[in-house]
Amino acid sequence: MATASIESDLKAQVFRLRTPLLSAGRSHTILASSKGEVGAMNVAIKCYAEGGENEFHAHAKEDHTFIVLQGRARFHQPDQPPRELGRNEGILLPAGALYKFETASDEPLILLRVGNVWQPVAGDTAVDNSGRQDTQGAAFGAHTKANKGSKGVPIPGAFYE
């Protein structure tokens, strides 16, 4: 799915926007990532069969953006009206901005996510270097029960690409 080398951050990384479609749950796959003396970046593809990132949270150390590739997403921020985004629309969330989102269509939601911290290219695994936190500033894991996380169940032979 992803071709990348994190041993040498000076080499270009090639990746493909492809992920299994899900009948339940969600997935988060890092496609490419780099880190250096002056900055870092990660590119991920996400799939949500239902739900979303269901509780308000922020990434204290990471600006990031989501671009809708398939389906519709409804983003929420405290004291703001919800923003519904469709294909080829995106949102930029500065470090520290509280948000949550949910799917807003019947088809699986596919998002491209780009952030400015390093993440390992290791499938559905991430390190907590973005400072992900809840509304009280406590650490808040993406795959926790509190965030209503559930492992994705792939639809055999079905992919976004």
Superfamily of domain 21-120+129-141 in CATH is Jelly Rolls (2.60.120.10)
Q: Is 34 exposed, middle or buried (0-12, 13-18, 19+ CB in 10 A)?
A: buried
What one-character DSSP code corresponds to residue 95?
A: T
Question: Order of strands across the sheet with 109-115?
Answer: 26-35, 40-48, 109-115, 64-70, 90-93
Q: How far apart are CA 113 and CA 30, in angstroms?
A: 9
Q: How far apart are CA 118 and CA 32, in angstroms?
A: 9
Residue % of the chain over a pLDDT of 90: 63
Which sequence spans correspond to the domains of the chain? 21-120+129-141
Q: How far apart are CA 75 and CA 128, in angstroms?
A: 22
**pLDDT tens per residue across span 98-119:** 999 999 999 999 999 999 988 8
pTM over the 0.85 mark? yes
Two tokens, residue 106: 């019947």
**pLDDT tens per residue across span 12-65:** 999 999 999 999 999 999 999 998 888 899 999 999 998 888 789 999 999 999
